[in-house]
Amino acid sequence: MAAGAKKRVAILISGRGSNMVALIQAAKDESYPATIAVVVSNDPAAEGLKRAADAGIATAVVDHKKFGKDREAFERELHRQLTTNHVEIVCLAGFMRLLTPWFVRQWEGRLLNIHPALLPAFKGLDTHARALAAGAREHGATVHFVAPEMDSGPIITQAAVPIHHGDTETTLAGRVLAVEHQIYPYALKLVAEGRVQVSGERCLIDGQPAKIHS
């Protein structure tokens, strides 16, 4: 695919950035419909920043601590970084700041998140421990468009994994992370190719309801 036809993507991180690496790897393929224009972290110490730089991707830091309680000023600066880099799609990948409705509206339909659970189950943190404690038989990961309410918004794709007897938070997290690294590049590809339409609370892919992969 010609470079000019590819969608320009920003990845927002706060930590180790393994999903970011999966997206960067996928985007290396010439036929992939998106290019990673910039990786932005709210934490200057995020391990993912070095991994992005090592991969030759531009990085930026918008340190939320410098903005004190002024969430809007932080987001205006974040937004400025994205527009300066001519970003068209934003992927949250372990980005640990809640975004205000203002920011979400700016990027509506172009803002994706990955969550380590089969939404709408287990929104929020500690999803693996909570799935184990609840005795769930299945767990997984979800890529969705971001809506103002945390961990909600139309689901683009999901992947389920089994929960085995004797699983710990660590073994389960590893199994889920492996599918995260598959579904995020897949979901971004669908969005970048314009194959995802939002219909009410749901996504249609090529006009069909989204499926759960397992």
Residues designated as active site: 115
The residues pairing with 155 across neighbouring beta strands, listed in sequence order, are: 144
Q: How far are the Cα atoms of 41, 124, 202 from residue 94, in angstroms, in the given order?
A: 10, 12, 23
Work out which of 43, 180, 188, 191 binds ligand GRF, going by CB under 6 A: 180
Q: Which of 115, 135, 130, 122 is nearest to 179 (CA)?
A: 115
Work out which of 114, 155, 190, 203 binds ligand GRF, going by CB under 6 A: 114
CB 4, min distance to ligand GRF, A: 29
Q: Counting contacts by CB under 6 A, is residue 11 touching ligand GRF?
A: no
Work out which of 9, 19, 43, 91 binds ligand GRF, going by CB under 6 A: 19
Is residue 75 within 8 A of residue 42, CB to CB? The reply is: no
d(CA 33, CA 28) in angstroms, rounded, equals: 10
The answer to whether the bond into 209 is cis (omega within 30° of 0) is: no
Work out which of 16, 97, 110, 195 binds ligand GRF, going by CB under 6 A: 16
CB 119, min distance to ligand GRF, A: 11
Closer residue to ligand GRF in complex, CB, 76/181: 181
Instruction: Say how many residues touch ligand GRF, by CB under 6 A.
Output: 13
Closer residue to ligand GRF in complex, CB, 33/94: 94
How many CB atoms are located within 10 Å of the residue 155 CB? Answer: 21
Q: Counting contacts by CB under 6 A, is residue 18 touching ligand GRF?
A: yes
Closer residue to ligand GRF in complex, CB, 45/73: 45
Q: Counting contacts by CB under 6 A, is residue 93 touching ligand GRF?
A: yes
Q: Residue number with the shortest CB distance to ligand GRF?
A: 94
Q: Counting contacts by CB under 6 A, is residue 43 touching ligand GRF?
A: no
Residue reference for tokens 């809506």: 147
d(CA 157, CA 169) in angstroms, rounded, equals: 23
Tokens found for residue 109: 């339909």
> CB-based contacts of 165: which residues, under 8 Å, 6+ apart?
none
Q: Counting contacts by CB under 6 A, is residue 97 touching ligand GRF?
A: no
Q: Angle at CA 204, nearest 5°, toward 198 and 207?
A: 120
Question: Which residues of this chain interact with ligand GRF, rule CB under 6 A?
Answer: 15-20, 93-94, 114-116, 177, 180
